[in-house]
């Protein structure tokens, strides 16, 4: 799907089935071949590549368009997080607090899940995205011409335009963690009570949308934005004793290699599209 002047235009389709193939990495191989044709034969060089959290698609896009910013679809991110939060399974993504603390000193080494990790909770544990190569390089010069219609001009009697920057989403206070007879040695036997689900989703959406070009969120740098985002979601998990939930959020979304896939702050530009729904519809 190509975007021009706030409209979407279908460019190409790939109808793919690999049900009968036994070649390792079959989906990545097929998708890479398709994307190479778009790049080499039709000179498609996107500044952003939107996908869901499909590892084969992510790897194929990284191998073909190394200078493009990968941007996970927010609708799919929200769906994936909601599904995991609603799943009561306590075993979660393998988590090493020393790695997190090496980046962020405020991480408590004792704040860890009370159950054994589940390697399957990480969608691609053997080939994590950090091995895929850079996810951000300076964006190429756009090849699509600007809109032909000039912007409207203000007349001499027009009132000045006032732009108000909101202070950001203010979440209502939550009750303290409920009394749970299954608490043992400070650990809760609940992955994430339902009362906290919407707050986590709203925080993640704020983190996705934050960008150095948008004032009012945090420090005006990509590093500052990530530090702010990690501290906010971590502090929330600590306050409500969501140990397994924090391990999942760090391992799948907030560690550096995963953060680059969905945070807009990791690119100098801001994508116009937030989801892939314009294509899927």
Q: pLDDT tens digits, residue range 34-72?
A: 999 999 999 999 998 988 888 889 999 999 999 999 999
pLDDT in tens, 96-117: 999 999 999 999 999 999 888 8
As a whole number of angstroms, the distance between CA 245 and CA 225 comes to: 21
Higher confidence at residue 38 or residue 191? 38
Q: What is the CA radius of gyration of the chain?
A: 21
Please state the three-class secondary structure of the chain as a single string.
CEEECCEEECCCCCCCCCCCCCCCCHHHHHHHHHHHHHHHHHCCCCCEEEECCCHHHHHHHHHHCCCCEEEECHHHHHHHHHHHHHCCCCCCCCCCHHHHHHHCCCCCCCCCCCCCCCHHHCCCCCCCHHHHCCCCCCCCCCCCCCCCCCCCCCCCCCCCCCCCCCCCCCCCCCCCCCCCCCCECCECCCCCCHHHHHHHHHHHHHHHHCCCCCCCCCCCCHHHHHHHHHHHHHHHHHHCCCHHHHHHHHHHHHCHHHHHHHCHHHCCCCCCCCCCHHHHC
Please count the other Cβ atoms lying within 10 Å of the Cβ belonging to residue 141. Answer: 7
What is the C-alpha separation between 139 and 47, in angstroms, rounded? 6
Residue 143 has pLDDT above 50, yes or no: no
Q: Would the pLDDT of 161 be above 70?
A: no
Confidence of residue 203 (pLDDT cuts 50, 70, 90): very high
Task: Give the contacts of 69 (CB within 8 A, at least 6 positions apart).
Answer: 47, 48, 49, 135, 136, 139, 266, 267, 269, 271
Residue bearing the bigger pLDDT, 226 or 160: 226
Checking phi first, is residue 43 left (phi over 0); if not, alpha (psi -120 to 50) or beta?
left
Residue 120 pLDDT: 75
Query: What is the separation of C-alpha 158 from the centre of its chain, rounded to a whole number of angstroms?
Result: 41
On whether the pTM is more than 0.85, the answer is no
The pLDDT mean for the chain works out to 79
């Amino acid at each position: 799907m190509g975007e021009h002047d706030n409209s979407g235009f279908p460019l190409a389709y790939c109808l793919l089935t690999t049900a009968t193939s036994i070649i390792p990495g079959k989906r990545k191989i097929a998708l890479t071949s398709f994307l190479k044709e778009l790049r080499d034969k039709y000179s498609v060089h996107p500044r952003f590549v939107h996908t869901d959290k499909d590892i084969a698609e992510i790897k194929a896009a990284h191998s073909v368009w190394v200078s493009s910013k990968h941007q996970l679809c927010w609708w799919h991110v929200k769906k994936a997080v909601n599904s995991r939060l609603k799943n009561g399974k306590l075993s979660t993504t393998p988590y090493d607090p020393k790695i997190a603390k090496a980046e962020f000193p405020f991480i408590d080494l004792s704040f860890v899940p009370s159950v054994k990790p589940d390697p399957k909770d990480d969608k691609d544990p053997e080939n994590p995205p950090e091995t895929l190569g850079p996810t951000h390089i300076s964006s190429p010069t756009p090849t699509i011409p600007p809109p032909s219609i000039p912007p409207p001009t203000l007349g001499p009697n027009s009132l000045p335009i006032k732009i108000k920057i909101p202070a950001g989403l203010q979440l209502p206070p939550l009750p303290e963690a409920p009394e749970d007879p299954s608490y043992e040695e400070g650990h809760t036997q609940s992955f994430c009570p339902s009362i906290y689900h919407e707050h986590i989703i709203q925080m993640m959406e704020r983190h996705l949308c934050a960008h150095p070009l948008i004032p009012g969120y945090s420090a005006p740098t990509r590093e500052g934005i990530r530090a702010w985002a990690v501290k906010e979601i971590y502090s929330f998990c600590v306050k409500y004793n969501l140990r397994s939930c924090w391990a999942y959020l760090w391992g799948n979304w907030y560690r550096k290699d995963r953060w680059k896939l969905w945070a807009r702050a990791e690119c100098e530009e801001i994508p116009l599209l937030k989801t892939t729904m314009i294509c899927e519809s």
